[in-house]
Amino acid sequence: MHKGYYSEYKVFLAVDCIIFGFDDEDLKVLLIRRDFEPEKGKWSLMGGFLKKEETLDDAASRVLFKLTGMHNIYMEQLYSFSEVDRDPVDRTISTSYYAIVNIEKHNKELIQNYNAKWFSLSKVPDLIFDHNIILKKAVRRLRRRTSINPIGFELLPEKFTMRQLQKLYEAILDKKLDKRNFINKINSMDILVKLKEKDMSSSTKGSFLYQFDQQKYDAKQEKNFYLKI
């Protein structure tokens, strides 16, 4: 008779979700206040445990929906954290996921129905366990990916100005970019559609609005095209 793996040591498997957002000025991360011990009352990433019938992707989606009400959000697996003493309660391995969302689309529901809050990356409080380490790794991944892929466009409204786009890249990459060089690089990539509409809030002349062209980008990807900001 097959005895299975009953003699092996059991560990818990958790998922932690790092949700990034942008508010036209600053890159932020979504945190939730922990409502149970240990570390009750401290800020935390969105986390929970894998259930027996779930895949890791399923668990991450379930946890995020339960804690924030967000669903149909694309999340990318980041890394697994397995330090022996990372959780003071029991041996727990965490597989982390990160996502980027438009704050404007989700902020109202979060404030009204969930105990979650957006924090600027420069003002993140001390988080539970090793969550500050997890967040730092997610930020490094986001910066690396944003420098070669257009994932940052998910953080913008459907129509945006070139200034908004530059502010987004400056917030993610944490550095100032030369306006003329940035615009020239973006235009040379030919992945934006310039609209006839203008945003009149920034100046009397207004600023032209743009849209990201996913089809153009997908076609370029087939030729090993990548962004380089």
- Whether 25 maps to a domain, the answer reads yes
Q: What element of type H or E holds 16? A: strand 12-22
Domain identity same for 132 and 155: no
Domain identity same for 80 and 188: no
- Whether 130 maps to a domain, the answer reads yes
Would you place residue 187 in the very low, low, confident or very high pLDDT band (cuts 50, 70, 90)? confident
| Contact assessment for residue 227 and residue 178, using Cβ atoms and an 8 Å cutoff | no
- Whether 23 maps to a domain, the answer reads yes
Rounded to whole angstroms, the Cα distance separating 43 from 56 reads 23
Helices and strands of the chain, counted as H and E runs: 6, 10
**In which domain, by residue range, is 179 found?**
150-221
| Contact assessment for residue 95 and residue 14, using Cβ atoms and an 8 Å cutoff | yes
pLDDT over 90 (residue 220): no
| Whole-number Cα distances in Å, 88 to 65, 95, 110, 141, 203 | 26, 17, 29, 27, 54
The DSSP bridge pattern shows strands 43-44 and 27-33 to be antiparallel
pLDDT over 80 (residue 14): yes
Domain identity same for 62 and 36: yes
Domain identity same for 133 and 156: no
Average per-residue pLDDT in the chain? 88
* Number of domains the chain is built from: 2
- 84-115 tens-digit pLDDT: 999 999 999 999 999 988 888 777 667 667 88
* pTM score of the predicted model: 0.87
- Reference 19, options 99, 76, 95; nearest CA is 99
Min mean pLDDT across 53-57, 134-138, 189-193 is at 189-193
Q: What pLDDT, on a 0 to 100 scale, did the predictor assign at position 197?
A: 92
- Whether 226 maps to a domain, the answer reads no
Domain identity same for 173 and 155: yes
Please tell me which of 22-26, 46-50, 69-73 the model is most confident about, judged by mean pLDDT: 46-50
pLDDT over 80 (residue 228): no
Boundary (domain end) residue, out of 122, 146, 170: 146
